[in-house]
Amino acid sequence: MDFLTLFSIYVAVVLACIVLVCRYSGQQQTPLTLVFDSISKVAAPFTPQWLQRLTQWSLHRLFHQRNNMFIYLHILLEGAVYVEFTCEVFGFCREMDTTLISLSVPYVLLALKSSFFYLCIKRDPGTVTKKRVAGQLHVYPYDRRLFHPGVTCPTCQLIKPARSKHCRLCNRCVQRFDHHCVWVNNCIGAQNTRYFLLYLFSVCAMAGDIALLTGDMLLHAVLRSGLLSASFIDADGQQQPVGPLFIIQHLFLTFPRIVFMLGFLVFVFFLLAGYALFHSYLALVNQTSNEWYKSRGYTCQHCHPTSVVDHLCSPAPDQSRRFYYGRGLLRNLGEIFFPLRPVHKKDS
């Protein structure tokens, strides 16, 4: 059981790290930075100046600037899973007469996921520029609760369209800003939310399918070994039937890499499935992650230094609807997969 305990602790630590990275990436004050600052103060007298500067530069570049490190990490983890599946699980499944069609599904899903992943990385999320801003201002109305007319982005020096936000990592305002995803090194906005959703669901399907095939292989291995009807002598010299914990330990010792891969896939599946369901809910009600967070703790913007006072002080619209931009399930989904285009007014 010691090995199982250590493995559980390892999975918990990995989960916590991934959640912290996804939750706080791009923010200035995070639990990670607070812990690092505390450790730095204690270790500073014993650490060379060049090492301190290198560490600070590395952390700043990793969490507060755009970089491809998480893309490379994504590809590395994915490659490790597929190498293990191809080199070991595939062969065991063929011995159990699993059809080639079933075994080819993970590779088809990999191709689909890779295409959506590429589109998330390369597609412009809907950058607000001088040429586009005039049309983008008319795409969505201001709700005068989270988004107010006349507010200027202090960095871009452009009037902010409704539902837009300035991304510090990308240094640009993005139309219908959802969030900045470190795993694709790009913002998720009006023009690439559909690819992000398809990417999430394809990763979940890929992890789930490989996990099912791997779990089926391990189940057949247990059945063929006769462990279910076996017994062992305990420390007191008593004969005991083999239980689930004994079988799990046996699988760890017999197929350590395969069992580790299965645990990782199950973890990834449930983590991303919950995330995908959350974003599906947002798509159905036509709300972004940014709006979801702001609606739970938004602050009044009437005193914004770059606001137009007469616009901000005008009567607020009816807020009886919980989701201001919701237009019905089908139209909300249609807006995700067929984004609204900037309005170009014809000169009279």
Among 217, 247, 253, CA closest to 231: 247
Catalytic site residues? 181
- Cα separation values, 13 from 19, 191, 288, 341, Å: 10, 35, 29, 43
DSSP 3-state of 1? coil
Give the whole-angstrom CA distance, residue 58 versus residue 321. Answer: 45
Q: Per the structure block, which two tokens stand in for 203?
A: 């990763």
Alpha helices in the chain (DSSP H): 2-24, 31-43, 49-64, 69-84, 90-95, 100-122, 133-136, 193-225, 244-254, 256-285, 289-294, 309-312, 329-337
DSSP 3-state of 127? strand
Pairing state of beta strands 231-233 and 239-241? antiparallel
- Cα separation values, 179 from 25, 184, 227, 290, Å: 10, 11, 49, 6
Environment class of residue 71 by beta-carbon count within 10 Å: exposed (0-12), middle (13-18) or buried (19+)? middle
Paired strand residues for 174: 127, 165
Among 170, 148, 169, 171, CA closest to 160: 148
Residue type, 283: A
Give the whole-angstrom CA distance, residue 316 versus residue 145. Answer: 8
Q: Per the structure block, which two tokens stand in for 55?
A: 């560490």
Give the whole-angstrom CA distance, residue 342 versus residue 321. Answer: 25
